[in-house]
Amino acid sequence: MNWDRLAGICRQFKGRLVERWGSASGNPLIAFAGTRDRLAGRAQERRGIAREVSQRELDAFYARNRDWRNLSR
Q: How would residue 58 be classed by pLDDT, with cut points 50, 70 and 90?
A: confident
> Is residue 44 exposed (0-12), middle (13-18) or buried (19+ Cβ within 10 Å)?
buried
The single-letter code of the amino acid at 16 is R
- pTM of the prediction? 0.75
> Is residue 11 exposed (0-12), middle (13-18) or buried (19+ Cβ within 10 Å)?
buried
Average pLDDT over residues 3-19: 92
Q: How would residue 31 be classed by pLDDT, with cut points 50, 70 and 90?
A: very high
